[in-house]
Amino acid sequence: MSAHTFKANNPALKSFVEVKKDSDFPIQNLPFGIFSTSSDSTQDARVGVRIGAFVVDLAELSELNLLNDLDFDHSVFYENVLNPFIELGQTNWRATREKVSELLQIGSDLEKQLKDKNDKVLFPIEEVTMHMPVQVGDYTDFYSSIEHATNVGKMFRPDGDALLPNWKHIPVGYHGRASSIVVSGTDIHRPKGQIKPNDADSPIFSPCRLLDFELEMAFIVGKSTSLGDSVSIEEAENHIFGMVVFNDWSARDIQKWEYVPLGPFLGKSFASSISPWVVMLDALEPFRVASPEQDPKVLDYLKYTKKHNFNINLEVDLIPQNEEATTISKSNFKYLYWNMAQQLTHHTVNGCNINVGDMCASGTISGKDENSYGSMLELSWGGKKTLTLKNGEERKFIQDNDTIVMRGFCQNENVRIGFGEVSGKILPAK
């Protein structure tokens, strides 16, 4: 489907809800999330759509008989995760986004109804609590940025090839920990584990000393498969519901000691943070771009003809406690060597089944220049360089009480489509 096929993407659309020009959430976006209005409970958590500085309550829209055109059981809007809604399939997600778009336009039935009665449909964002948008059954982390993989290779294997022989032939990934994926705003305790100081003969047990972030995006699986089945490259995007910004927290010293021979474990599994609003691929249509050229040529099952990458600007802020933010990285999703369609196709080519709500992260997204590196490991080049913050403090890695904030947004002359932010504060080790 091309960008203009989706009526909800029309840049001329205007909402009766006031939306600031620099908002991530104009009427052309309409991402889905899970919100509640009583901060101490998830009992009333339900499905919402973001417009400007407000959340639209889809359960309430159903109560007002404004969603009668949607031919499915509206009880999915009362659920405290998006999984049952996503399971309804792509046709129904699209119909829901188009219907909400109609209702939010100037002169709509909803606008008239809200003028006549004080129905509680729109909630100011500061009055709601956001929750995990999906129940994540499985989580896979890829390693899809050639710039990041090259940087890490140079640091870890200074005398060898930066890229291992398989890297340009397969989208490298590993199975991660789903239970510790948390929504933006969740505090993270500094992890503990075994580390081996450079001057020591044996490891010690210690809180992590080299705590890092990884700037990533993740997609949420929208269509399940059966064990033994594979998803073709042409069908891959039909199995993707939408995307979030993803911070894959990393304990570099724990990781360095443990990762040979089986790869990431405690250095990664303590926490990953995601932005609360899931932006549908449909909303990103106007921002499709070609992926970097792949050389050598990939095997046939990974070959594609469509543009599967998106021009998503990414930013990372580091905020010391009670201080102002310093933007320490500006990158872009379009740099990824391996795109989402290739990732999902490769993931399933062996017959691995996927389920609605599964999450697949991109791996750290770095660009070519130093200001676009997507981790402290690269920004400080393994601790050899120092970052100076606005208040004069210096960092090589993340300190206790630092907050990391990541943002993602697309922008052209017509519209800005954003993801909001994912933030997390590091507390001392327990």
Pairwise CA distance, residues 396 & 383, whole Å: 5
Q: Give residue 189's pLDDT.
A: 98
- Model's pTM, two decimal places? 0.97
The DSSP code sequence of 120-166 is --EEEGGG-EEE-SS--S-EEEE---HHHHHHHHHHH-TTS-SS-TT
Contact by Cβ (8 Å): 365, 332:
yes
| Residue located via tokens 């009668």 | 68
Q: Is the omega angle on the peptide bond into residue 197 within 30 degrees of 0, that is, cis?
A: no
- Average pLDDT, whole number, for the chain? 96
Which tens digit of pLDDT belongs to each residue from 162-193? 999 999 999 999 999 999 999 999 999 999 99
Q: Give residue 359's pLDDT.
A: 98
Q: Would you say residue 3 has pLDDT above 70?
A: no
Q: Give residue 5's pLDDT.
A: 75
Q: Give residue 39's pLDDT.
A: 57
Pairwise CA distance, residues 185 & 83, whole Å: 22
Q: Would you say residue 279 has pLDDT above 80?
A: yes
Average pLDDT on 269-274 reads: 98
Average pLDDT on 24-47 reads: 89
Domains of the chain in sequence order? 3-131 (2.30.30.230), 139-427 (3.90.850.10)
| Residue located via tokens 């929504």 | 183
Q: How far is the CA of 236 from the CAs of 182, 339, 346, in angstroms? A: 26, 11, 10
Of the pLDDT bands very low, low, confident and very high (cuts 50, 70, 90), residue 116 is: confident
Residue 55's H or E segment, with its range, is: strand 54-57
Q: Would you say residue 362 has pLDDT above 90?
A: yes
Of the pLDDT bands very low, low, confident and very high (cuts 50, 70, 90), residue 326 is: very high
DSSP code, position 219: E
Pairwise CA distance, residues 19 & 23, whole Å: 7
Average pLDDT on 18-36 reads: 97
**117-121, 148-152, 205-209, 350-354: which has the minimum mean pLDDT?**
117-121
Which tens digit of pLDDT belongs to each residue from 215-250? 999 999 999 999 999 999 999 999 999 999 999 999
| Side chain identity at residue 404, one-letter code | I
Residue 346 annotated in active site: no
| Residue located via tokens 């990884």 | 214
Cβ neighbours of residue 65 closer than 8 Å, sequence gap 6 or more: none
Catalytic residue among 4, 74, 131, 148: 148
Which tens digit of pLDDT belongs to each residue from 388-408? 999 999 999 999 999 999 999
Q: Give residue 157's pLDDT.
A: 87
Burial of 35-53, coded b for 16+ CB within 10 Å and e otherwise, reads: bbbeeeeeeebbbbbbbbb
Q: Give residue 4's pLDDT.
A: 46
Please give the radius of gyration of the chain, using alpha carbons only, rounded to the nearest integer: 22
Which tens digit of pLDDT belongs to each residue from 47-102? 999 999 999 999 999 999 999 999 999 999 999 999 999 999 999 999 999 999 99
Which tens digit of pLDDT belongs to each residue from 292-312? 999 999 999 999 999 999 999
Nearest Cα to Cα of residue 215 among 147, 266, 279, 154 = 147
Pairwise CA distance, residues 85 & 78, whole Å: 10
Q: For the chain, how are helix, strand and coil distributed in percent, rounded to 5?
A: 25, 25, 50
